[in-house]
Structure 1
Amino acid sequence: MVDPLAEVVSLLQPTAPFSKRVIASAPWAVRRSETGRPFYFVVLEGACRLTVENAEDEDTMTLTEGDFVLIPAARAFSTSSLDRLPPAADEAITSPLTPIPGGVRVGDPEAPVTVRMLVGHCVFGSQDATLLVPLLPRWVHVRGEQRLATLVQLVGDEARAQRPARDIVLARLLEVLLIEALRSTGSSAPSPGLLRGLSDPKLALALHRIHEQTAQPWNVAQLASAAGMSRSAFFEAFGRAVGMPPMEYLLTWRMALAKRWLRQGEQAISEIADRVGYRSVSAFGVAFTRHVGMPPGRYAALH
């Protein structure tokens, strides 16, 4: 059986080559504005508060030892000690920063340390990341998973040590941690996306069909039948869980596959069109151009 999450993660090509140690002494607060890059936190010791901002509202969570958080497309977020409010939007760095080997110390450098973290940017190697990231939740927060706890402990041990090839080992451990966090979230995903859809047994049936038989000329009624639901109930439940209508999800996935195969240059456009469910090259060309912004032939030539 095809695993939709594995396919999406495989296309995203997540890596975690950039990390730094952060230690902090209360009270402290730091706010950052990002440019859509994925960001992660691993809490090695202590606790802190994380506030993730978005266009509609903001989500604040308390992070404790062993927690892992991934923000697939960070825009703005803040971290702070538990004894103060998150920094306001017009605040940038509100606490002293002192460089330390491999990272930074936040707050009074003479005060007791209250939290230790490993933070950094992830990299999605795929050129289709802009298509695929919307299939992920706004943020992923994992707690209480034994496998994650073991990985966090290994990451912490490696981050504190000065062993040969430390950076390479740390990057590989973080890659595994990213994937494990995504598949561990399931129904606890805080916002719509593929993870929440897969956690619903009925919707998962339809999602698996889409990924197993992408070339099929699916419509909403057929996908609803695969899920064992009425058309209206399926349409509503899919949009609520995944964050987009079923046919938009199907189109997004088809275009991501088409772009990958066009870049590889090993198949004719007619063959790619057939593999992603289009019975004519012209119909595929119209859909691809509308979705990507250029015809498939030109896209292949540029890549």
Structure 2
Amino acid sequence: MTDPFAEVVTLLQPTMRFSKVVTAGGRWRVNRPAAGAPFYCAVLEGASRLKVAGQALTLHAGDFVLVPAAFEIDSSSLEPPPGNEVSPVEVAEGRSRVGDPDAPVDYRALIGHCAFGSPDAALLVSLLPDVIHVRDEPRLTTLVGMVGNEARAGRPARDVVLERLLEVLFIDALRSAGAAAPTGLVRGLADARIAPVLRRIHESPAETWSVVRMAKEAALSRSAFFERFTRVVGVAPMEYLLTWRMAMARQLLRQEGAGVASVAERVGYGSASAFSVAFARHVGQPPARYARAVE
């Protein structure tokens, strides 16, 4: 059976672009503007507070936080200092220090930015929660520990190993969020009624879908299904279907030799002209022009 989660992650093409180990002592605060890239933090030792996307989190050793979109982020010690934030001081390549330089280290975290290779990244990220915070998950705790050991060891190929470990952390954090995620694809796949519908849409996007048919797959009335899908996934059912079809279409059009008529049929449109109108409305340019631009 098709795995919608795997398809979205594969299309996103996540990579960990930058990482560093941050140590801290005493009272401290660091602020990052909303213009930054998607962010992650693996707490290796101690505790801290994190404010992002309207949420205030307390993080402890073993916790992993992933913020797939760009938001302003405020990080601090459990008792933040008065006044403005401070900038981390680089003490070695890939290592920074914040707080009182004379205080003993009581906090250590691996933080960094991830990047998504897909031109549909914004569209796909909209299907994910704003903030993913995972704790008390033995597998993730083990992975965070492995990341911490690798970050501190300085062994050969350290950066390559860290990138691979962090990619696994990224995927596992999304999987582990499940029903705890506020809205989005992750939450939908944890819902017993919504998950079968999502899997069927991803398995057969070209079929003639309607809200009535989706509701039947979910064994719910039309109104109950529409309300539940919209509340859990964060978008209306037909909007989700369109989003996924357009993401698939863009991927197919980037493949050498993919014709507009063939792509239209594969994503559920009865004619190339109907597909072209929908694609141009959604993407901002006709599919033939889009295909030529990415050649």
Instruction: Specify the TM-score bucket, using the shorter chain as the normaliser.
Output: over 0.9
The one-letter amino acid of 1:95's match is V
Give the whole-Å Cα distance in 2 for the aligned partners of 1:277 and 1:99.
53
Secondary structure of residue in 1 paired with 2:23: strand
CA contact (8 A) 1:96 1:108 kept: no
The one-letter amino acid of 2:155's match is R
Deviation at 1:96, TM superposition (A): 5.8
Q: What CA deviation, in whole Å up to 9, does each residue of 1:220-272 have, x standing for no partner?
A: 00001001110000000001011100000000000000000101123211111
Equivalent position of 1:83 in the other structure: 79
- So what's the TM-score if we normalise by structure 2? 0.97
- So what's the TM-score if we normalise by structure 1? 0.94
Structure 1 runs of 4+ off > 6 angstroms?
Answer: none
Equivalent position of 1:74 in the other structure: 70
Give the whole-Å Cα distance in 2 for the aligned partners of 1:201 and 1:96.
46
Give the whole-Å Cα distance in 1 for the aligned partners of 2:252 and 2:196.
26
Q: Determine if the alignment matches structure 1 residue 299 to structure 2 residue 295.
A: no
Deviation at 1:84, TM superposition (A): 2.6
Q: Determine if the alignment matches structure 1 residue 117 to structure 2 residue 117.
A: no
Give the whole-Å Cα distance in 2 for the aligned partners of 1:114 and 1:49.
14
CA contact (8 A) 1:235 1:245 kept: yes
**Structure 2 unaligned spans of 5+:** none
Q: What CA deviation, in whole Å up to 9, does each residue of 1:194-230 have, x standing for no partner?
A: 0111111110011011001100110000001001110
Count of aligned pairs between the two proteins: 293
The one-letter amino acid of 2:73's match is F
The one-letter amino acid of 1:255's match is M
Pairing partner for 2:126 from 131, 134, 143: 134
Give the whole-Å Cα distance in 1 for the aligned partners of 2:90 and 2:42.
19
Equivalent position of 1:213 in the other structure: 204
Alpha carbons of structure 1 residues 36 and 201: separation in structure 2 relative to 1, 3 Å? farther
CA contact (8 A) 1:239 1:245 kept: yes
Deviation at 1:284, TM superposition (A): 0.2
CA contact (8 A) 2:30 2:88 kept: no
Secondary structure of residue in 2 paired with 1:17: strand
Deviation at 1:301, TM superposition (A): 0.3
Deviation at 1:35, TM superposition (A): 2.3
The one-letter amino acid of 1:83's match is E
Alpha carbons of structure 1 residues 284 and 157: separation in structure 2 relative to 1, 3 Å? same
Root-mean-square deviation over aligned CA pairs: 1.3
The one-letter amino acid of 2:142's match is T
1:1-303 → structure 2 map (5 Å cutoff): 1-35=1-35, 37-53=37-53, 58-84=54-80, 91=84, 94-95=85-86, 97-101=88-92, 102-189=94-181, 191-303=182-294
Secondary structure of residue in 2 paired with 1:159: helix
Secondary structure of residue in 2 paired with 1:214: coil
Q: What CA deviation, in whole Å up to 9, does each residue of 1:77-135 have, x standing for no partner?
A: 100110137x89xx5xx236322121210011110112100000001111110110000
